[in-house]
Amino acid sequence: MNRFDKVINRKNTNSVKWDFSKNIFGEDEVLPMWVADMDFQAPDEIIDVLHSRIDHGIFGYTMSGTSMEKAIQEWVKNRHSWDINPKIITYSPGIVTAISLAIEAFTSEQDKVVVQSPVYYPFFEIAKKHNREVLYNHLHLSNDFRYDINFTDLEEKLSDPQTKLFILCNPHNPSGRVWSEEELTKIGNLCVKHNVLILSDDIHSDLLLFNSKYTPIASINEKLANQTITFIAPSKTFNLAGLQASVALITNDSLKRKYNEVKQRFGLMMINTLGQEAMEAAYTYGEKWLNELIEYLEGNVIIVEEYIKTYLSNIKVMRPESTYLIWLDARALNKTDDELKDLLLKKGKLALEPGSKFGENGAGFLRMNIACSKTTIKDGLGRLVTALKEV
């Protein structure tokens, strides 16, 4: 049996995904395929390192040393052909936290932040909570059913004198689109032209499917490196989100200094001890496990595509180039997001993310998490048909 076929009971572990359906959806006993964490155990090597650290029994203050920096440097170089200087590395409990710190560091109230919707909703929610105005560069659905960038609109928004930040999602969540080097160069050149700092959330960059090619925008040339803060983490890749450890890569010394000053102001001096151990182990030993995971996820994508084509032909599947998230176009059903959600929860006992959560142009879409066993995938697809077949 493939290691990823194993179904693990996650209930009664305080899992947001599995233990709080009633709080979040108002329904008990729904199959949760919404929030972006996997139902797979982390690699054995990470678990062994954590056991060893726990067995030591002392959990005092820790700092990240050269072995951690080397693990990150070698991972980025070997996996993504980006040769970084370890001096550009700094740490944060998580990427959402890190983006919030960057908004605090590099903007003032009433400044403007550009995001590309539909997109991971904390981007615009956090900016609003900082009293920054959000400008939406709506992504365009092409004839081949993938998202493209409206560069004319993007430049218009970046050229606003009050625009200080552009938040890039590469690979893109929720669609799984991996932006090409050509697209990233155009984005970067516009941000340099209008002196707009790029925050690039690359958390899904290790989860490349179907031989997709990912390019870190900061790796393209020196001017883009100096205009960008790149965020990476092992959390999505190795299912370690609860251990709270991520990385910010900041080539520009001035930006790094200012970012770290804000970190210190909020008392975020170090990351969780076990998160640190898990991160180093992931980037040191995790490659074989990850390659097996990617192969399994590709199989899950194909199962979803074939099942929906057979039983729900009026729903379109956007094949992800990365991530373990599938973006489903249910607009042909002519239902509001609330109506779709109600059908899924009441009839199908299935929890998916409604598309409007990712921005107004996500309405009519659904996001499905397929990082689970094939048994769970087939259960979820059956529930999807039960909920929507009569619509």
Rounded CA separation 318/328 (Å): 6
Instruction: Quote the pLDDT of residue 261.
Output: 97
327 and 188, same structural domain? no
> From the centroid of its chain, how far is CA 371?
13
300 and 277, same structural domain? no
Burial class (CB in 10 A: 0-12, 13-18, 19+), 86: exposed
**Does residue 22 contact residue 58 with C-beta atoms inside 8 Å?**
no
Q: Which residues pair with 133 in a beta bridge?
A: 112
144 and 65, same structural domain? yes
Rounded CA separation 139/318 (Å): 14
33 and 143, same structural domain? no
Instruction: Quote the pLDDT of residue 1.
Output: 65
**Does residue 360 contact residue 289 with C-beta atoms inside 8 Å?**
no
Write the CATH number for 334. Answer: 3.90.1150.10
Is 49 part of a structural domain of the chain? no
Residues 6+ away with beta carbon under 8 Å from 378: 303, 307
Nearest to 251 by CA among 224, 233, 269, 216: 224
Which amino acid is it at 333? L
Q: Which residues pair with 201 in a beta bridge?
A: 169, 231
Kindly state the average pLDDT of the residues 352-371: 98
Q: Which of 285, 305, 333 is the last residue of a domain?
A: 285
The number of CA neighbours under 13 Å toward the Cβ of 339 is: 10
Nearest to 324 by CA among 25, 34, 44: 34
Kindly state the average pLDDT of the residues 269-273: 89
Is 48 part of a structural domain of the chain? no
**Does residue 268 contact residue 97 with C-beta atoms inside 8 Å?**
yes
Is 194 part of a structural domain of the chain? yes
Tell me what the pLDDT averaged over the chain comes to.
97
Q: pLDDT class for 42, splitting at 50, 70, 90?
A: very high
Rounded CA separation 54/257 (Å): 34
Q: Which tokens go with 266?
A: 């909020």
296 and 255, same structural domain? no
Q: Which of 264, 285, 306 is the last residue of a domain?
A: 285
Task: Note down the domain range covering 91.
Answer: 60-285
Angle CA 35–338–334, to nearest 5: 115
Rounded CA separation 374/355 (Å): 24
**Does residue 130 contact residue 164 with C-beta atoms inside 8 Å?**
no
Q: Which of 285, 301, 323 is the last residue of a domain?
A: 285
Number of folded domains in the chain? 2
Query: Would the pLDDT of 390 be above 90?
Result: no
166 and 87, same structural domain? yes
Element (H, E) at 329: strand 325-329
Is 235 part of a structural domain of the chain? yes
Find the distance separating the first CA and the last CA of the chain, reported in whole Å: 37
**How many C-beta neighbours within 10 Å does residue 129 have?**
11
Kindly state the average pLDDT of the residues 34-52: 98
Share of the chain above pLDDT 70, in %: 100
124 and 101, same structural domain? yes
323 and 239, same structural domain? no
**Does residue 113 contact residue 100 with C-beta atoms inside 8 Å?**
no
Instruction: Quote the pLDDT of residue 252.
Output: 98
268 and 304, same structural domain? no
Is 55 part of a structural domain of the chain? no
Using one digit for the tens of pLDDT, what is the confidence trace for 301-335?
999 999 999 999 999 999 999 999 999 999 999 99
What is the maximal distance between C-alpha atoms in the chain?
A: 59
In the chain, % helix, strand, coil (3-state, to 5) comes to 50, 15, 35
Is 51 part of a structural domain of the chain? no
Share of the chain above pLDDT 90, in %: 96
Using one digit for the tens of pLDDT, what is the confidence trace for 187-236?
999 999 999 999 999 999 999 999 999 999 999 999 999 999 999 999 99
270 and 335, same structural domain? no
333 and 240, same structural domain? no
Rounded CA separation 172/160 (Å): 24
Is 133 part of a structural domain of the chain? yes
Is 52 part of a structural domain of the chain? no
Using one digit for the tens of pLDDT, what is the confidence trace for 128-152?
999 999 999 999 999 999 999 999 9
Instruction: Quote the pLDDT of residue 122.
Output: 98
213 and 90, same structural domain? yes
Using one digit for the tens of pLDDT, what is the confidence trace for 73-119?
999 999 999 999 999 999 999 999 999 999 999 999 989 999 999 99
Write the CATH number for 101. Answer: 3.40.640.10
Rounded CA separation 279/78 (Å): 16
- Backbone CA torsion sign across 210, 216, 217, 223: negative
pTM of the model: 0.97
